[in-house]
Structure 1
C-alpha cells in the first residue's frame, strides 16, 4: 500500500497535527469537520503546552508555522503559587534555572487555544468544514466508507477518529470504551490584562497555572496568556498566509465546584453569562475580596460552563482500519494540563507510522504500533490527570479499567 488514503474525522488540535504530518509525508488524506469553520465554536481559552506538545508541533509543522507558534506562545513567569480562599499561600514553586528546553523553547508554555488551532489550520487545503459524520462501513474491497449527514460518503484505507469526547467513531469502533462524568463543573472566563486589572493578580499567578482552593472542593484557577504585539502583525512577519483572530492579553479564570453543589446541568447550561458569574460569586461569599474581584472582572462575552468528563483506560484491542486519537480515545481532566499535548503527540506518532506505510510497511502493523504507543502515553496521562483532579479539586476517583 504505497499511497494509502486517510480519512480524519475532526479538525481539532490532534486531527490538524496529523494532517500536517501526512502532508509532509506525502500521504493522501482528507479532514472532515462538523463545524462551519475553525472559529465556529468556543472550546476554551488558555491551554498548557508541555514537552510532548512542543515536540509534536516541531515534528509536523512547516518551519514558518513552527516559528509562528513560537512567537505567539506565552512564557510563564518563574514563580507560581497556590492559595487558600483567604489568599494565604499554601504552595509555592520557583524555576531553578535547570528546566530543560524543547527545540529552543521552555518546557512549559501557555498558548491561546484558538490561536494554536488557527495556526494548525493554515496551509491545509484538505479540510472540509460543515459536514457531520454519522457512521462508517466497509465496502466489498475492505476499505472504510464514511457516511455524512448530507448524504455523501468518503472512502479511505484508514479512518481516524479525531472527533473528541463525544466521538461517534469510538461508539461504533469501541462500544465498550467508557467516558464518565468527573463530578466537576467549570465556569470558564477570561479577565483582560489591563493596567486596571493586572494588579488584581499577584506575581504567583503569572507562573503558569495557579489556583485558589476553597472549602467544599470549590476552586478558582488561573493562568496568563500574554502577547507581545497584535497577532496580525506577528503573522504578517512570519507566516503571511496565517489568519489569526486578535486577542488581548488575558488571565484565564475558571471557577470549579462539585456537581451536587450546583444547579442541575439543564439549568446551569441555560444560564446567561451574567447569571453564571453571579452564581460563582454567590459560592465564593466568604472568600477573600481579592479573589471575588477577579470574578467581578470576568469579561462577560467569554463566560461559558463546561462539563468535565474523563475516559476510563481500556484494555488493548486488535488493530484495524479504524483508529482513534486524542479525546476520542483518552479524554481527561484538565487537572494534568495534558489533554491537548496528548492529542498532538498522537497525531505526530501516527503520521510517522503512516509515512512508513507509504514506504511499504503493512497498514495494520503500523496502526498496531501507533495504538500501542498511544495507549501507553494517553492512558498514563488520563490516570495522572484524574489523580491530580481527585486530590486537589475533588474529582470523582477514576473507575477501574
Structure 2
C-alpha cells in the first residue's frame, strides 16, 4: 500500500523534503498558504553550511542542484571578529572552511532565490493558496482542513509550517516559543563600485561580527552576484535593491537587549529605525555609520528574536514536525535553515527506506529521536550565542575579546578550534 504523505508548509525544509521524496517515487503533496510562488519574495541572505549543502545535493534533482549553485553568491574567504573601531580581534581564513566539493561547502544565497529554486519542478505536488486550519483523525487517516474549505487525506502529515506552526499548536500544544527580549534591526546596503570606494575592504569582502565592549553587537555580510543569476520567473517584479534576486549588497543586523531601545519602537518605520541605529553606534568607526546610513529605509526592519524550548519526547504517530515548526531558534549562529535541511535529509532517507519494510512508524520514530537531539542542541547553542552577543557584562565581553586575540596570535590553536566552523 502506498503511503500518502502531506507536507504542510512550503518553506526551505518542506520543499527540500518534497523533492527528495518525489525523486524516490513517493506519493507526496505540499500545501502552502501563499497564493502564488512569488508571494514569499522577502528576506535576507542565508548562509548554507556543509550540512545544508549535503541535504540539498541529496534531495534535489541534478538540474535544480545546478540551478541552486548558479544562484548562490559569494562571501569573502575571511570571517572576521572586530571591535567597534574596526580593529581585528580574530580572522578565520578561508582554508579553514572551504571545500572543493560544492556538496560539502559553504554557500551564500538570497532567501528569495533559494525559495524560487526549491519551488521549481514540483508541478502537481506543490499546491498554493492552502491555508492550514487544523486536522482530524478518521481511523489511521489524517484529514487536513484548509481555509478554502478543501481537505486532503494523508497517511502521514509533516508539519513544516514555520515558527508559528498550526500543526504544532494542535499536535504538541505544550511546545512553546518565548521572546528572548533581544531585538535586531536589520538592513541592506547596496554593494556597487561606488560604495566599494567608500567602505573598507573588511566590510565589503567578507562577513564581520562586531563586538563592542558591552551591550550590543552588529553582524554584516556581503552577498555578491555577478548579475547573471536569476530566479527565472517572469511573474516576479520587485525592487532589486530591496528584493535581491540579482543585486549585490551587504546585509547588516544590529542587536541589543530590548531595554536599550526606546518605548514604542515596534511601530517605527525603516527611516526611524535607521536613525536609531545610527544614534546607538555613535562613537563607532565611521564605516559602520556609512554602512547603516547608506541602506535604503525600505530595507530596514525590526526583528524581535524568539526561540523554542526543548520538548520532552512524545509518542510517535502519523503526524510529525520539521524545521522551525519544532525547533525554531535565534538567528545568531545562522543554522536555522541548515537544521531544517538536515531534518529533511534524515526524514527523507528514513521514509524512503521504510518503503522496503513498510514500517513508516519506526522510520518516523527514529527521525524524531535524532532530530530532538541535534535540533534542540542547535537551539541551545543559538540562544547562548544570542545572549553573549548582547551581554551587558563587561568582564565576560573583555574575556571573549581577549580569547579571540589569543587564537589570532597562535594560528595552530585557531586552526584546531575553528576548522569545523559552521558545520554544526
After TM superposition, is the score higher than 0.5? yes
Q: What is residue 278 of structure 1 aligned with on the other side?
A: 275
Residue 144 of structure 1: SS of its match in structure 2? strand
Matches of residues 94-133 of structure 1 in structure 2 within 5 Å?
94-95=93-94, 97=95, 99=97, 101=99, 103-104=101-102, 107-125=105-123, 126-133=125-132
Whole-Å separation in 2 of the counterparts to 1:138 and 1:65: 36
Residue 193 of structure 2: SS of its match in structure 1? coil
Quick check: 1:48–1:337 contact (8 Å CA) kept in 2? yes
Q: What is residue 69 of structure 1 aligned with on the other side?
A: 68
Quick check: 1:70–1:105 contact (8 Å CA) kept in 2? no
Tell me how large the CA RMSD over aligned residues is: 2.4
Residue 205 of structure 1: SS of its match in structure 2? helix
Structure 1 stretch 333-342 or stretch 80-89: which is displaced more?
80-89
Aligned CA distance change for structure 1 residues 174 and 295 (closer, same or farther; 3 Å): same
Matches of residues 244-263 of structure 1 in structure 2 within 5 Å?
246-263=245-262
Cα deviations by residue, 1:245-290 (Å, 9 ceiling, x for unpaired): 73211111112121122245xx434222111111211222232222
Cα deviations by residue, 1:336-367 (Å, 9 ceiling, x for unpaired): 11100011111121112111232233111111
Q: What is residue 86 of structure 1 aligned with on the other side?
A: 85
Quick check: 2:179–2:306 contact (8 Å CA) kept in 1? yes
Aligned CA distance change for structure 1 residues 389 and 53 (closer, same or farther; 3 Å): same
Quick check: 2:40–2:112 contact (8 Å CA) kept in 1? no
Q: What is residue 399 of structure 1 aligned with on the other side?
A: none
How much has 1:106 moved relative to structure 2? 6.2
Aligned CA distance change for structure 1 residues 326 and 320 (closer, same or farther; 3 Å): same
Quick check: 1:310–1:331 contact (8 Å CA) kept in 2? yes
Q: 1:301 aligns with which of 275, 291, 298?
A: 298
How much has 1:34 moved relative to structure 2? 1.4
Aligned CA distance change for structure 1 residues 268 and 39 (closer, same or farther; 3 Å): farther
Whole-Å separation in 2 of the counterparts to 1:111 and 1:101: 17
Q: Does 1:374 align with 2:371?
A: yes
Quick check: 1:75–1:106 contact (8 Å CA) kept in 2? no
Quick check: 1:9–1:32 contact (8 Å CA) kept in 2? yes
Whole-Å separation in 2 of the counterparts to 1:270 and 1:98: 43
Q: What is residue 328 of structure 1 aligned with on the other side?
A: 325
Paired positions, count: 386
Whole-Å separation in 2 of the counterparts to 1:204 and 1:167: 39
Quick check: 1:83–1:213 contact (8 Å CA) kept in 2? yes
Residue 284 of structure 2: SS of its match in structure 1? coil
Q: What is residue 193 of structure 2 aligned with on the other side?
A: 195
Aligned CA distance change for structure 1 residues 130 and 262 (closer, same or farther; 3 Å): farther
Cα deviations by residue, 1:94-136 (Å, 9 ceiling, x for unpaired): 23x3545274356322111111111000111211222211111
Q: Does 1:145 align with 2:128?
A: no
TM-score when normalising by structure 2: 0.85
Whole-Å separation in 2 of the counterparts to 1:359 and 1:105: 27
Residue 303 of structure 2: SS of its match in structure 1? strand
Aligned CA distance change for structure 1 residues 372 and 102 (closer, same or farther; 3 Å): farther
Quick check: 1:80–1:203 contact (8 Å CA) kept in 2? no
Whole-Å separation in 1 of the counterparts to 2:245 and 2:187: 17
Gaps of 5+ in 1: 396-401
How much has 1:207 moved relative to structure 2? 6.0
How much has 1:16 moved relative to structure 2? 0.4
Q: What is residue 316 of structure 2 aligned with on the other side?
A: 319
Residue 38 of structure 1: SS of its match in structure 2? coil
Whole-Å separation in 2 of the counterparts to 1:360 and 1:106: 30
Quick check: 2:4–2:27 contact (8 Å CA) kept in 1? yes
Whole-Å separation in 2 of the counterparts to 1:111 and 1:342: 16
